[in-house]
Amino acid sequence: MVQERNKHGISRREVIKLSLAQAAGLALLRRTGGAAAADAPKPTPHAKSVIQIWMWGGPAHLDTFDPKPDAGYDYCGPLDRPITTNVAGVQIGQLLPLLAQQADKYAIIRSMTHGVNAHETASYLMQTGRAPDRLVFPCVGAVVSRFKGYDGGYTGVVPPYIVLTELQGRFSEAGFLGQRYKPFATGGDPNAARFAVEGIVAQGITDERQLRRRDLLHALDSLGRVLAGNDQFAEFDRCEENAYNLMFGETRTLFDLSNEKDDVRERYGRNTFGQSCLMARRLVEAGVPYVTINYRGWDTHKQHFQTMQRRLPELDRGMATLLADLADRGLLDSTIVWWGGEFGRTPRVQWEPPWNGGRGHYGNCFSCVVAGGGFRGGTVVGASDKYGAAVAERPVYPRDLIGSIYELLGIDPEGPLPNDRGLEVRLLPTDAEAGAGGGRLREIMSS
């Protein structure tokens, strides 16, 4: 990526050097604590990027990656014929035939648990690995942005943490890390004729006009001239320069999905989710460390099975194509794909009014899927009981999963989380703070 120099002659690389000096200071701190996982050999960091498919609202584990055909109609409803996959002995939901053909690429965790059935608290747990306390911690994306973004050697013009397309807003995603680590939400719709990324792709303003009015802006900047050298104004200049680099640079081409062949776009599915998956691949290809696809519509209290019939094929096509495409391009080894929501859904179908065939929130036992970046595919971690109601083997808590992702990225889960609030905190809580966990997913992490 281009290394640009701002008006004050400080290049991004020099800024990074400063951060590295700070990081060296932190390395000293790191030695003082958190030796929990020290006895097992640490996996080699494989991953450079993460694509998080956030199943907003909580997807039903029974209808996706943990089918229970023997549990009967009260549990399965009409979806009682799971299908075999390309991995011997592994079955998944019948509405996911394309994903069944990619099962060798991902690991299914069937024993996720945190026990919380409220959206906010469960989202917080799944995105931070922590139970709510007085402090609001950053979510995984913000942490990765802290370590792998501009403070960690990333020099891209595109922001290091992108959300397709809207923020969750359930809590401030960067927590106490603050503004700098918040995601860039694209807005717009990647499935529209033109993906209007808010701020980057302007509607109906020519480049010539952009440049002309920028000159006007600078000609009228009287206060800026009077206060030249003021720190806040220097920051303002730096941000403006970055903004123009985004508007005029390679970013525009990156977000322009019409550069992809039609058959590729078709393969991902001509819908917002499918095209978001395609966009995510393009971003990762360009070196962006963290991309979240906020995929709405899984809070299916009512009309559950109708929704599954309609939406699962969309999920199936988009995610299966993403995995295949990443693998074909040699990107899967360095890209973690993480699928899951805040919880699962009640194994027993709520046939009674007012739900009339819905599934409620269920945090006691549910599924997540991970692929790539050093996670071994074609595997299953843990198991639920015969109804998918409780963990039968090998519980996996949110922090076990998140810690594993950090390890594969080369981020120390026990390490300190640098912040400008003066807080002495670690990325993830220790067992002493949070109670015994299930342990990181060493069984599916390549060493």
Partner 1 sequence: MRRLVLLLAVVAVPVAVPAGESPPVLPYEAAGQFVPTGPIDECVLADLRAHGITPAPLCSDAVFVRRVYLDVIGTLPTAAEVGTFLADEHPDKRAVLIDALLERDEFADYWALKWCDVLRVKSEFPINLWPNAAQAYHHWVREALASNLPYDAFVREVLTSSGSNFRVPPVNFYRAGQGHEPETLARAVALTFMGTRLEHWPEEQRRNLAAFFSRVGFKATAEWKEEIVYLDPAAAKPLDATFPDGRCLRVPVGQDPRQAFADWLISADNEWFTRCIANRVWAWLMGRGIVDEPDDVRADNPPANPALLASLQAELVRSGYDLRQLYRVILNSRTYQQSSIPRGDVAEAEAHFAVYLLRRLDAEVLIDAINGICGTHEEYTSAVPEPFTHIPKEKRTIALADGSISSAFLELFGRPARDTGLMAERNNRVTDGQRLHLLNSSHIQKKIQEGPALQDLLRSARRDRRQLVSTLYLTILSRHPTPEEERAAVSYLRSAQAPRQAAHDLVWALFNSREFQFRH
Cβ neighbourhood burial of 238 (10 Å; 0-12, 13-18, 19+): middle
Instruction: Answer for the pair 408, 370: CB distance below 8 angstroms, yes or no.
Output: no
Q: What residues have CB less than 8 Å from 223, skipping those under 6 apart? A: none
Residue (of 334, 257, 301, 442) closest to 51 by Cα position = 334
Show contacts with partner 1 in window 212-231 (CB under 8 A): 212-213, 216-217, 219-231
Closest separation in Å from C-beta 319 to partner 1: 25
Total Cβ atoms within 10 A of residue 83? 15
CA dihedral angle for residue 111, residue 116, residue 122, residue 127, rounded to 10 degrees? -40
Instruction: Answer for the pair 159, 255: CB distance below 8 angstroms, yes or no.
Output: no
- Based on the shown chain and the rule CB under 8 A, indicate whether residue 49 belongs to the binding site for partner 1: no
Total Cβ atoms within 10 A of residue 68? 20
Closest separation in Å from C-beta 218 to partner 1: 9
- Based on the shown chain and the rule CB under 8 A, indicate whether residue 124 belongs to the binding site for partner 1: yes
Q: d(Cα 83, Cα 79) in Å, to the nearest integer?
A: 11
Show contacts with partner 1 in window 180-209 (CB under 8 A): 180, 182, 184-185, 187, 196, 198-200, 202-203, 205, 209
Residue 264 or 286: the one with the smaller Cβ distance to partner 1 is 286
- Based on the shown chain and the rule CB under 8 A, indicate whether residue 243 belongs to the binding site for partner 1: yes
Residue 89 or 169: the one with the smaller Cβ distance to partner 1 is 169
Q: Which residue has the tokens 């079955």?
A: 91
- Based on the shown chain and the rule CB under 8 A, indicate whether residue 6 belongs to the binding site for partner 1: no
DSSP string, 187-217: -S-TTSSS---TTTS-SS--HHHHHHHHHHH
Among 26, 244, 258, 351, binds partner 1 (CB under 8 A): 244
- Based on the shown chain and the rule CB under 8 A, indicate whether residue 211 belongs to the binding site for partner 1: no
- Based on the shown chain and the rule CB under 8 A, indicate whether residue 3 belongs to the binding site for partner 1: no
Residue 283 or 409: the one with the smaller Cβ distance to partner 1 is 283
Residue 45 or 132: the one with the smaller Cβ distance to partner 1 is 132
Using the contact rule CB under 8 A, the part of the chain among 77-85, 173-181, 337-345, 349-357 near partner 1 is 173-181
Using the contact rule CB under 8 A, the part of the chain among 44-52, 67-75, 126-134, 333-341 near partner 1 is 126-134
Q: d(Cα 246, Cα 295) in Å, to the nearest integer?
A: 25
Closest separation in Å from C-beta 278 to partner 1: 22
Q: How many helices (H) and strands (E) does the chain have?
A: 14, 14
Angle between helices 207-219 and 231-248 (to 10 degrees): 170
Closest separation in Å from C-beta 274 to partner 1: 24
Closest separation in Å from C-beta 232 to partner 1: 6
Residue 40 or 217: the one with the smaller Cβ distance to partner 1 is 217
- Based on the shown chain and the rule CB under 8 A, indicate whether residue 394 belongs to the binding site for partner 1: no
Among 27, 74, 115, 236, binds partner 1 (CB under 8 A): 236
Instruction: Answer for the pair 323, 280: CB distance below 8 angstroms, yes or no.
Output: no
For partner 1, the binding residues (CB under 8 A) are 120-121, 124, 132-136, 159, 166-172, 178-180, 182, 184-185, 187, 196, 198-200, 202-203, 205, 209-210, 212-213, 216-217, 219-233, 235-236, 239-240, 242-244, 246-247, 421
